[in-house]
Amino acid sequence: AQSVTQPDIHITVSEGASLELRCNYSYGATPYLFWYVQSPGQGLQLLLKYFSGDTLVQGIKGFEAEFKRSQSSFNLRKPSVHWSDAAEYFCAVENSGNTGKLIFGQGTTLQVKP
């Protein structure tokens, strides 16, 4: 069965520091991978997605993620975190067939220290 694991439930970084949020997936075929962000009181917003091609994908708000098939990982990175990045981040995988059914990880809450 497909699954997504985000090993870090809560991460705290200082403003201006670099960030890496981990995501591991379990899926038999080529995965379709996503990162979403959920800010307090707001709906989920897509940061970036990977379907095929270049394994390093760029997203909005300065985020990027790298797909590593050998490690079954799709980690999210940002070189310099801003206070407004404090939110909950979800990694998700979509099954084949382009149904839009996403399997989400449990989420990582990011806290940014001034």
Partner 1 sequence: GAGVSQSPSNKVTEKGKDVELRCDPISGHTALYWYRQRLGQGLEFLIYFQGNSAPDKSGLPSDRFSAERTGESVSTLTIQRTQQEDSAVYLCASRTRGTGHEKLFFGSGTQLSVL
Binding site for partner 1 (CB under 8 A): 4, 6, 9, 32, 34, 36, 41-46, 49, 51, 90, 92, 94, 98-107
In the complex with partner 1, the residue whose CB is nearer, 18 or 51, is 51
d(CA 22, CA 41): 24
In the complex with partner 1, the residue whose CB is nearer, 15 or 22, is 22
In the complex with partner 1, the residue whose CB is nearer, 15 or 44, is 44
d(CA 43, CA 19): 22
* Distance in Å, CB of 94 to partner 1, minimum: 6
* Distance in Å, CB of 25 to partner 1, minimum: 13
